[in-house]
Homo-oligomer: A and B are copies of this chain.
Amino acid sequence: MPTADGMATGDLAAAGVTKPATVFLIIRRMEASLYAALAALRQRYRVLDFFASTEPLPAFLAAAAAAVASGAASPPRAAVVGGAGPARVDAAFLDAFPSVRCVISLAAGVDFIDLDECARRGVAVANSGRVYSADVADHAVGLLLQVLRRVSAADRFVRRGLWPASVQGGGEYPLGSKLGGKRVGVVGLGNIGSLIARRLQALGCVVSYNSRRARGDAVPYKYFPSVRDLAADSDVLVLACALTKDTRRCVNREVLDALGEGGVVVNISRGGNVDQAELVGALRDGRIAGAGLDVFESEPNVPPELCDMDNVVMTTHAGAFTKESMVDLGDLTIANLEAFFAGKPVLTPVQLPTQVKKVVVLP
């Protein structure tokens, strides 16, 4: 059972310094790398720490609520939440912990946070800002190069010892495809999408995009109002959009068919943006040429069929994770909490649908 005392470890506590506030830390246990970057948070605040708990999340939250009700833990004022865990910051969570007035996502995406509910209750929401943007953009470029140039497949080929036999047998290793000149359609031109576009343009690609709104002359890329039309005019589709009700499965069968048999899909956003069964079918039937996937519909599970395909490269939702970005994330999270506890705006706020909801909830 989490208690404030039980969590009051660390240098400040050892020095007799009173920790100023209690913070939820809800990260799934696998993300030890992420967590290590947040050691400073544990030193600075009382932490209701799901990561350190051995209970399932519902039991952990129930125990935390009981501890707060009994006075064993002080009410948590903020919640720091991992982006790929079981946690959902929704009405039920906010009802259970009305003392939480600030939610900080450790991810760029906030699809696990009910922004309408946060807006209605005046709860501030922050995300990871641009901490990950360059790393995710690099990962997208890396996945695309991998798929086009068949690097992972070649690496497996060499490791299996097939290269010498191939030479002796007069065999032929399939040719890759050139990056330069490829027409790349970027879906979502936010922080990450913009960096992907800039990188691929520097590498000789012709970039177009789809986004909620056209940027006009602010960007040198052609705008397509629909993902389907973007796909029809592209050799490569790179998904860099948030997962919302508007983008869910925005890459469906029609879009894949528009992309066509020479087409490549790269997804570093959220698995839910793609109709995964349709993607697997298109790859299996050769209706598209390949895919580089960092995200999946039901992580950590991937469609078994993909594991036998040489034109697919898969990674473990790792686009954001480098040693360097973890340090930056720790610094930003502390800075956001400090701003919030000082009564100032968070540094990397997520835009909330405040206006509409305020009208709705007025008596």
CA distance in complex: A181, B203 (Å) = 18
Cross-chain contact of A322 among B178, B302, B323 (Cβ < 8 A): B178
Task: Tell me if A40 is interfacial: C-beta within 8 Å of chain B.
Answer: no
Tell me, rounded to whole Å, the shortest Cβ–Cβ distance linking A184 to chain B: 14
Task: Tell me if A175 is interfacial: C-beta within 8 Å of chain B.
Answer: yes
CA distance in complex: A157, B314 (Å) = 9
B175 touches A323 (CB 8 A): yes
Tell me, rounded to whole Å, the shortest Cβ–Cβ distance linking A147 to chain B: 10
Cross-chain contact of A170 among B32, B302, B322 (Cβ < 8 A): B32
Task: Tell me if A164 is interfacial: C-beta within 8 Å of chain B.
Answer: yes
Cross-chain contact of A167 among B300, B324, B326 (Cβ < 8 A): B300
Residues of chain B within 8 A of A284, CB atoms compared:
none
A138 touches B301 (CB 8 A): no
Against B, the Cβ 8 Å flags (1 = close, 0 = not) of A311-330 are 00111101001111110000
Residues of chain B within 8 A of A171, CB atoms compared:
30, 32
A143 touches B151 (CB 8 A): yes
The contact size tier of chain A is: 35 or more
Tell me, rounded to whole Å, the shortest Cβ–Cβ distance linking A268 to chain B: 11
Residues of chain B within 8 A of A166, CB atoms compared:
30, 300, 316
Q: List 28 A-B contacts (CB under 8 A).
A: A30-B166, A30-B171, A33-B175, A134-B179, A134-B204, A138-B145, A138-B178, A138-B203, A143-B151, A146-B152, A149-B318, A149-B322, A154-B316, A155-B314, A155-B315, A156-B156, A157-B316, A158-B302, A158-B314, A159-B314, A163-B302, A163-B316, A166-B316, A173-B316, A176-B323, A178-B322, A178-B323, A181-B324
